[in-house]
């Protein structure tokens, strides 16, 4: 990739930033405040509250990014401009994932400091011990998991879920911006083919789980080694190994959705 290409992508990212900042009553302030609030509460009271940062950020970042675009229907503008659709998808994926990762890393470090210094112990004294859920969970694990291990497990889990969620959100937006409109009542939305597919998949999963529970299908037995592997990975190296696995899964999911978005958006009638 040459420098011109990099500049083109950076310009697109800048355009999105400008669009995001414009307009009245945009969500940006609310998302930033929400992130800072949960991050701050997490730092002061319990690192577990810090889990809301990747989860909340992933839930609100994409709507925040496209709120003005949807409001003023400026998504059609890109069809008129000499912009490669693939570049547009790439720039938005890069921007979303980069901001998400940066935010998650900063707050992860902050929560780590909180876990180490335990400022909530200074505020509550000995009573804090009864409220320290991470410590309680570590105790329940019979010494097989450290506090850091438990925190890592939960944080990496939230991070992976969040990144999968963001890429899914982006794919959905590129596919049908109107269906994505969060201001539209759910009841008024038309069910798409994909909605039926998801419903069918959910139904199949529920049936498989039920058959597993009532022991018709050997679901429980098949899940055991997978669960054992996850538990084993969680116990090792303070949960970083399981963290690496979860991040790998998130990367695979994001790459898949990115490719799907490029293919789908390329064929879309704007």
Partner 1 sequence: MNQLFKRFATALCAGMMLFFVSVPSVYAEEETEKIMLPSGKDVEWFQLQMDLTSRHNSENDRLFASAVVGLFQGDEVLYTGYYGETDIANQIPADENSVYEWGSISKTLIWVSAMQLYEQGKLDLETDVREYLPEGFFQHLSYDEPITMLNLMNHNAGWQETTRPIWETEENKVLPLGEALQAIEPAQIHRPDEVSAYSNYGAGVAGYVIECITGQDYCEYVHEHIFEPLGMEHTALNPTHSDNAWVYEQRKNMKSYQFFLGNCVDLGYCLNYVPAYPAGAATGTLSDLMTYAQALVNEDAPLFQNPETQKLLFTGTDFYGDSDIPICAHGFWCEEHAVRTYGHNGATTSGQANMIFDLDSKIGLVVMVNEPSGNWYINYASDMAFGELSPEKYSSGTAEKTKLDGYYLNARSTYQGMLKFIPYLTAFSLENLGNFEKLENNLYQLRHESKLIGESAIILGEKTYPDGSTAIQEPSVDLIHDRFYLVKLCLFTVYVLLAVSAIYLLLIRRKLKKHGKWTSYQGATVMTAAQIARIISFLALLGTYVAVSKFNGGIPYTIGAVLGIMQMLCIAVCGVSAVTSCISIPSHQNEKKMILRYVLNTIGCILPIITILYFEMYQFWGC
Q: Which positions touch partner 1 (CB under 8 A)?
A: 142-146, 218, 220-222, 224-226, 228-229, 232-233, 235-237, 241, 245, 248-249, 252-253, 255-256, 259-260, 263-264, 266-267
Determine the Cα–Cα distance for residues 228 and 213; give it in Å rounded to an integer: 18
**Percent of the chain as helix, strand, coil, to the nearest 5:** 85, 0, 15
Minimum CB separation from partner 1 for residue 143, in Å? Answer: 4
Q: Which two tokens stand for residue 143?
A: 């010494």
User: Residue 143 — φ and ψ, nearest 5°?
Assistant: 80, 5
CB 118 within 8 A of CB 46: no
* Residue nearer to partner 1 on the CB measure, 29 or 144: 144
Closest CA relative to residue 147, chosen from 235, 38, 44, 229: 235
Rg (CA), the chain: 21
* Residue nearer to partner 1 on the CB measure, 131 or 255: 255
- Token pair 């990014």: residue: 65
* Residue nearer to partner 1 on the CB measure, 178 or 220: 220
Q: Is 24 exposed, middle or buried (0-12, 13-18, 19+ CB in 10 A)?
A: exposed
* Residue nearer to partner 1 on the CB measure, 126 or 267: 267
Q: Which two tokens stand for residue 237?
A: 């190296």
* Residue nearer to partner 1 on the CB measure, 76 or 86: 86
Minimum CB separation from partner 1 for residue 20, in Å? Answer: 29
List all residues 6 or more positions away from 56 whose beta carbon is below 8 Å from its beta carbon: 31, 34, 35, 38
Minimum CB separation from partner 1 for residue 270, in Å? Answer: 17
* Residue nearer to partner 1 on the CB measure, 108 or 258: 258
Minimum CB separation from partner 1 for residue 9, in Å? Answer: 19
* Residue nearer to partner 1 on the CB measure, 82 or 225: 225
**Distance of alpha carbon 208 from the chain centroid:** 27
Minimum CB separation from partner 1 for residue 29, in Å? Answer: 37
First-to-last alpha carbon distance for the chain, in angstroms, is: 28
Minimum CB separation from partner 1 for residue 256, in Å? Answer: 5
Minimum CB separation from partner 1 for residue 152, in Å? Answer: 14
């Amino acid at each position: 990739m040459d420098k011109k290409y990099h500049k083109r992508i950076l310009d697109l990212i800048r355009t999105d930033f400008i669009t995001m900042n414009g307009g009245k009553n945009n969500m940006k302030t609310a998302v930033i405040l929400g992130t800072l609030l949960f991050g701050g509460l997490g730092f002061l009271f319990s690192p577990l509250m810090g889990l809301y940062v990747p989860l909340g950020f992933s839930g609100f970042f994409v709507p925040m990014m496209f709120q003005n675009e949807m409001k003023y229907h400026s998504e059609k503008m890109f069809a008129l401009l000499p912009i490669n659709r693939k570049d547009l998808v790439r720039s938005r994926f890069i921007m979303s994932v980069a901001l998400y990762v940066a935010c998650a890393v900063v707050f992860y470090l902050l929560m780590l400091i909180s876990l180490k210094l335990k400022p909530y112990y200074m505020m509550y004294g000995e009573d804090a011990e009864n409220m320290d859920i991470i410590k309680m969970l570590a105790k329940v694990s019979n010494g097989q998991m450290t506090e850091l291990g438990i925190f890592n497990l939960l944080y990496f889990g939230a991070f992976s879920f969040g990144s999968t969620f963001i890429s899914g959100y982006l794919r959905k937006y590129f596919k049908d911006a109107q269906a994505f409109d969060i201001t539209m009542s759910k009841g008024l939305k038309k069910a798409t083919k994909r909605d039926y597919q998801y419903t069918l998949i959910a139904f199949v999963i529920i049936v498989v789980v039920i058959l597993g529970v009532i022991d018709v299908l050997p679901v429980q037995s098949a899940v055991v080694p997978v669960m054992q592997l996850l538990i084993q990975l969680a116990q090792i190296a303070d949960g970083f190994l399981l963290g690496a696995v979860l991040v790998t899964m998130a990367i695979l999911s994001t790459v898949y959705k990115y490719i799907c978005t490029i293919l789908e958006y390329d064929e879309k009638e704007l």
